[in-house]
Each structure stands twice: as C-alpha cells, then as structure tokens.
Amino acid sequence: MPEFLSDELKSLRDRVASLATGELAAVRDATDLAAGDAAARVRAASKAAGVYALTQTEGVSELTLLVVRETLARHGVSHLPGLFGAGAGLLEGVGEPLRSSHLLPMLAGDKRVGFAFTEPAGVPRSTWARVEGDELVITGQKSYVTAGADVAFLTALVEVEGQGPSMVIIDTDRPGVTVTRRFTSIDGSHHAAFRFEDVRVPRHHAIGAPGDGRGRALAKISAVRRAIAADCVGTAGWIIEQVAAGLRRERRGGALGDHERARLRYGEMRIAAYAARSAVYRTARLVDAGIDAVNESIAAKVIATETANTLADSAVQLLGGESLVVGHPLEATYRRLRVLRLAEGETDTLRVNAARGHLDLGKGSI
Ligand SMILES: Cc1cc2nc3c(=O)[nH]c(=O)nc-3n(C[C@H](O)[C@H](O)[C@H](O)COP(=O)(O)OP(=O)(O)OC[C@H]3O[C@@H](n4cnc5c(N)ncnc54)[C@H](O)[C@@H]3O)c2cc1C
C-alpha cells in the first residue's frame, strides 16, 4: 500500500515532487528546446536532486524506486529523457574484461546498450551461435530494439549450440551486424531491427552460466515490468487530476461534474486507479521482503498498464475532442501508454505466463 511510508521516503517523495513541478515542468513545457538540450537539463536537475543515480546504486529498495517513479508520473514528467542513469541490468556482476569494456562505460553514459530479445514472426530458426575455438559465430535477426540505431552494443538472446539460450554481448560495429530497419512507434520512441550474418564475438561475451539466458533476461524484464507499472499508476493519478479539473470547469449549463453520468465514469476511474496502485505497492513490498515475485510483477504490469490505458481512453471521452488535438497533454499520454500494453510482455501472453506460473510451476501468491 502507498500509505505508511517512512519519514525518509516521504521526504524523498517531496523532493521529487519539487523537482517535477520546478525544473522538469519547465523543460516539459518549453517549446523551443532541442531534444539533446532537454535531456541535458533533465539530467543535470535529476543529478542535483539525487534522483539520477538511484537506478545505478546497489541496495536501493523497490519501494524507493516506486515512490520516485510514481511521483514523477503523477506530475506528468516521467516521459522526459535523462531522468535516470543506466542501471547494470543484464550486466550486473560481470567480471573482467566485460566490466571494463562494457559495464563501466555503460554506467558512465559513454556506451549505450540495446536489449535484443524479440524476433520477427515466422523466421525458421531463432538467433543462434556455433562455437569456433574462443569465438561464438552468430546468425539471426532481432526485430525490435529500442534506440537500436544509437547503441554501441546489444545484449541479445542467442541459442548457443550445445549450451542453450544465453545472453550475449554483440558490439554493433562488428562485421556482419546490419541495421535492416529504423522505425518510430506511436509514442515517439525510436527502434531498429538487426540482422547478424556470421558475426564473431569472443566466447566470454556470453554472460552468466551456460544456458541461463532466459532466466537472466527474465530477472531484468521483471524489474522493467515493475518500473512500467510504477509509471502507469503515477500516470493514472495524473490523468485523474486532468479529468477532475475538466469536470469542475464551468461550461454552458453548469460544470460537467454536475452531471450524474460524468460522475459515474469519474468514480469508476478512481476505483480502478486505487486497485492498480494497491497491487503495484504490494508487489514492491514483496520484492523488498526477498520474495520471488515474478508472477506478482506480471500481475502488477498487466493491471497497471491496462488500467492506465482504460483511464486515458475514458479521460479523452469525458473531456472531448480538444484532448485529442495534437500537442494536448492527454493526446501524448494516450499514445505513450498504448505501447506499454505490448512492450516488456504483451498482456495476453503475460496472463498465460501467470497461469503457467501457478499450474505448472506452483509459484507466487496470486
Ligand atoms: C515501444 C516498444 C518497444 C519495444 N522495445 C523492445 C526492445 O527494446 N527489445 C526487444 O527485444 N523487444 C522490444 N519490443 C517488442 C515487444 O517486446 C514485443 O512487441 C512484444 O513482446 C510482443 O511480441 P510481438 O510483437 O512479436 O507479437 P507476438 O508475440 O507475435 O504477439 C502478437 C499476438 O499474438 C499472440 N500470441 C503470441 N504467441 C502466441 C501463441 N503461442 N499462441 C497464441 N497467441 C499468441 C499474442 O497474445 C498477441 O496478441 C518493443 C515493443 C514496443 C511496442
């Protein structure tokens, strides 16, 4: 539950709220800022407020991250670039030489990484590698890598012969790596598709134990799912505030909020947001208690993303055509939220995974 936060967390929440309503709101509302300048201003402000490094610091609790992400979203600034430093993610705990060649430059912001998991539908074989001496020779395709065209390396799920699925680091400047497509999704984020033709990488670029690629990827994906869920419950709160303001606004014949049918919808929105927020906070507390919360993270992501999308849709319906004019804050939020029902696990696939978690694996408390 979001209540009963420690004094320390309440004070962090207040600090983040000041950051959001101050410099971050100014960056968001500026129409004349180039994308790079906006990111640099956000990064500087986030660093000064002690927010930027939270995702890079070991031992930061899940509840802390949730409070920060939710607060940013509640103030309509969670989409800004440069808020958080890149975390170790899949590279957590790697030894030398990968620590110096990839992990540290990534944490310093000198090298960007892309997550290469999804493959085009209908390809006859997953991305795979044969072992030749001290090298892996990789062949295959990845269809949807966020920021792919700008990254220095990929962490890619690769079926390594005789070893099983592994997460492998592939530098994007290696011979045989081709960007086959660059594209933009409706939220404005950029992506790339890749082809690998006999790409040679050192064998030690396979991270972790042989064959643990899916498990390693899943741990990372679970954390990202919770981050998305935190953003969505915060955004749900922001949407509700927009609607409340709209309902109170005087119009011909009285405020919209005087009408029973608008109140019914508004009440429904508040109840749905309450349920989603409760689930997301409960999940964070389970993680902090050291409980394996893969299934609960799935549930939190599904509930939060579906709820936020439903709320955005209801908000547009209640506030009318003006909220669909390009440039209106709700219009951009509507587009941004839509991708989250697919990214990091499509909702129906996650429902099926939750069923498997219980029926086949006997895991979790949902
Ligand atoms: C904004 C955005 C950013 C993304 N970033 C990345 C990224 O950085 N890295 C990355 O690897 N991927 C990324 N993705 C891809 C994302 O993970 C996939 O789009 C998502 O997992 C769904 O996979 P898919 O698109 O291949 O659709 P599919 O898996 O083909 O799913 C399409 C439909 O088929 C259904 N379906 C799937 N399998 C079955 C089955 N066995 N039986 C019955 N029905 C089935 C699903 O439920 C769904 O309704 C991103 C996607 C978006 C939208």
pLDDT, tens digit, 9 for 90 and up, residues 251-263? 888 899 999 999 9
Residue 193 CA to ligand 1 centre (angstroms): 14
* DSSP symbol at 346: -
Task: Please name which of 268, 249, 250 lies closest in space to residue 314, comparing C-alpha atoms.
Answer: 268
Q: Write out the CATH class of domain 214-359.
A: mainly alpha
Q: Is the pLDDT of residue 209 over 90?
A: no
Flag the least confident range among 146-150, 256-260, 314-318: 256-260
Quick one: pLDDT band at residue 286, thresholds 50, 70, 90? very high
Flag the least confident range among 192-196, 302-306, 357-361: 357-361
Residue 144 CA to ligand 1 centre (angstroms): 9
Q: What is the pLDDT of residue 214?
A: 78
Going by their DSSP bridges, the two strands 128-132 and 135-146 should be labelled as antiparallel
More confident residue, 311 or 254: 311
Residue 143 CA to ligand 1 centre (angstroms): 10
Tokens coding 304: 């939060």
Quick one: pLDDT band at residue 73, thresholds 50, 70, 90? very high
Q: What is the pLDDT of residue 84?
A: 97
Out of 84-98, 154-168, 199-213, 231-245, give the one with best mean pLDDT. 231-245
Q: Is the pLDDT of residue 41 over 90?
A: yes
Residue 225 CA to ligand 1 centre (angstroms): 14
CA-to-CA distance for 284 and 91, rounded, in angstroms? 22
Q: Is the pLDDT of residue 360 over 80?
A: yes
Q: Is the pLDDT of residue 220 over 90?
A: no
CB burial readout 84-106, b (16+ within 10 A) else e = bbbbbbbbeebeeebeebbbeeb
Pocket of ligand 1 (CB under 6 A): 115-118, 121, 144-146, 185, 189, 339, 342-343, 346, 348-349
Tally DSSP H helices, then E strands, for the chain: 11, 8
Query: What average pLDDT does range 89-105 have in this prediction?
Result: 93
Q: What is the pLDDT of residue 52?
A: 97
Query: What average pLDDT does range 137-149 have in this prediction?
Result: 97
Q: What is the pLDDT of residue 259?
A: 93
Query: What average pLDDT does range 229-251 have in this prediction?
Result: 96
CA-to-CA distance for 328 and 269, rounded, in angstroms? 20
One-letter amino acid identity for 118?
T
Q: What is the pLDDT of residue 169?
A: 97
Tokens coding 220: 């990372």
Helix (H, G, I), strand (E, B) or coil at 244: helix
Task: Please name which of 282, 116, 95, 302 lies closest in space to residue 205, comparing C-alpha atoms.
Answer: 95
Domain boundaries, the chain: 7-87, 95-207, 214-359
**Average pLDDT for the chain:** 95
pTM above 0.85, yes or no: yes
Q: What is the pLDDT of residue 186?
A: 97
Q: Is the pLDDT of residue 366 over 90?
A: no
Residue 342 CA to ligand 1 centre (angstroms): 6
Mutate to test the pocket of ligand 1, among 346, 353, 356 (most ligand atoms within 8 A of CB): 346
Give the closest residue (by CA) to ligand 1 atom 3. Answer: 343
Report the nearest atom of ligand 1 relative to the CA of 120. 26
Report the nearest atom of ligand 1 relative to the CA of 147. 8
Q: What is the pLDDT of residue 261?
A: 95
Q: Is the pLDDT of residue 61 over 90?
A: yes
Q: What is the pLDDT of residue 170?
A: 98
Residue 341 CA to ligand 1 centre (angstroms): 10
Query: Any residues with CB less than 8 A from the CB of 259 and at least 6 apart, and which?
Result: none
Mutate to test the pocket of ligand 1, among 79, 112, 118, 185 (most ligand atoms within 8 A of CB): 118
Query: What average pLDDT does range 213-217 have in this prediction?
Result: 79
What homologous superfamily is domain 95-207 in, according to CATH?
A: Butyryl-CoA Dehydrogenase, subunit A, domain 2 (2.40.110.10)
**176, HSE (Cβ side, Cα atoms, 13 Å):** 14
